[in-house]
A and B are shown apart, each in its own frame.
Chain A
Amino acid sequence: MTTITRKPENPTAHLTPEDIEQIGIELDAIRQDVIDSRGASDAAYIRKVVDVQRKLELGSRAVLLASVFPPAWVAGTLGLSVAKILENMEIGHNVMHGQWDWMRDPKIHSTTWEWDNASTAEGWKHSHNQVHHTYTNIVGKDNDLGYGIMRVDEDQRWSPFLLGQPLWNFVNACFFEYGIAAYDLELGKNLRIPKQKRSDAFKRNAKNTLNKIRKQATKDYVVHPALSIPTGSFLPTLAANFTANLVRNLWTHSVIMCGHFPEGVETFEKKAIPANETRGEWYVRQMLGSANISGSRAMHLMTGNLSFQIEHHLFPDLPSNRYAEVAPKVQALFEKYDLNYHSASLPKQVASAWHKIVRLSLPNGWLAETNVKNAPKQVALLYKLSTGGPKVRRAYDAMQRRAENQKRETVAA
Chain B
Amino acid sequence: MRAVEAATTPLLPADYLDLFAPLRSGADLRGRIVSVHAETADAATIVIRPGADWAGHVPGQYIRVGIDVDGVRQWRAYSLTHGPRADGHISITVKAVPDGKVSNHLVHHAVPGTLVHLEQATGDFVLPDDLSSRKLLFVTAGSGVTPVIGMLRNLFPVTDEGVLMRGFETPRSSAPQPPTGGTRGSAAPQPPTDETRGSSAPQPLTDETRGSSAPQPPTEGTRGSAAPQPPTEGTDITVVHVAPSEPDSIFIRNLRELDEAGAINLVARYDDEHGVLDVSDLAGLVPDLVERTTYACGPGGLLDALGKHHEERGLELFTEQFRPVTVAAGEGGTVTLEKSGVSVELDGSTTILDAAEEAGVLMPSGCRMGICMGCVLPMREGAVRDLRNGEITTATPGETNAGGVSIQTCISAPAGPCHIDH
A interface residues, Cβ below 8 angstroms from B:
28, 32, 35, 38-44, 51, 54-55, 58, 96-98, 101-107, 109-111, 114-116, 125-126, 129-130, 133-134, 212, 215-216, 218-219, 222-224, 227, 282, 316-317
Contacts and interface: CB of A to CB of B under 8 A. Distances in A.
Interface stretch (B64-72, B89-97, B121-129, B296-304): B64-72
Contacts of B405: 104
B367 A104 contact: no
A130 B388 contact: no
Contacts of A35: 389, 391
A300 to B, nearest CB: 21
6 contacts: A39-B71, A40-B70, A43-B72, A98-B373, A129-B373, A219-B6
Q: Is the interface of A mostly helix, strand, loop or mixed?
A: helix
Contacts of B376: 98, 101, 110-111
Interface stretch (B8-16, B40-48, B225-233): B8-16
B389 A102 contact: no
Contacts of B1: none
B10 A43 contact: no
A35 B411 CA distance: 16
Given A115-B10, A224-B7, A106 B372 contact: no
B367 A130 contact: yes
Q: Is the interface of B mostly helix, strand, loop or mixed?
A: loop
A104 B72 contact: yes
Given A43-B71, A126-B366, A114 B371 contact: no
Interface of B: 3, 6-11, 15-16, 19, 68, 70-74, 366-367, 369-374, 376, 388-389, 391, 400-401, 403, 405-406, 408
A126 B16 contact: no
Contacts of A101: 373, 376, 406
B80 to A, nearest CB: 24
Contact of B70 (A39, A105, A114, A215): A39
A106 B401 contact: yes
A107 B73 CA distance: 11
A102 B405 CA distance: 10
B372 A125 contact: yes
Nearest to B367: A134
Given A54-B15, A223-B7, A129 B71 contact: no
A110 B372 CA distance: 10
B404 to A, nearest CB: 10
Contacts of B366: 125-126, 129-130, 134
A317 B15 CA distance: 24
A126 B366 CA distance: 7
Contacts of B372: 125-126, 129-130, 133-134, 316
A233 B103 CA distance: 55
Question: What are the 7 closest A-B residue pairs judged by CB atoms, nearest first?
Answer: A43-B71, A129-B372, A130-B366, A98-B373, A114-B10, A130-B372, A104-B73
B373 A51 contact: no
Contacts of A38: 70-71
Contacts of B74: 104
A58 B16 contact: yes
Contact of B367 (A39, A43, A102, A129): A129
A316 B68 CA distance: 24
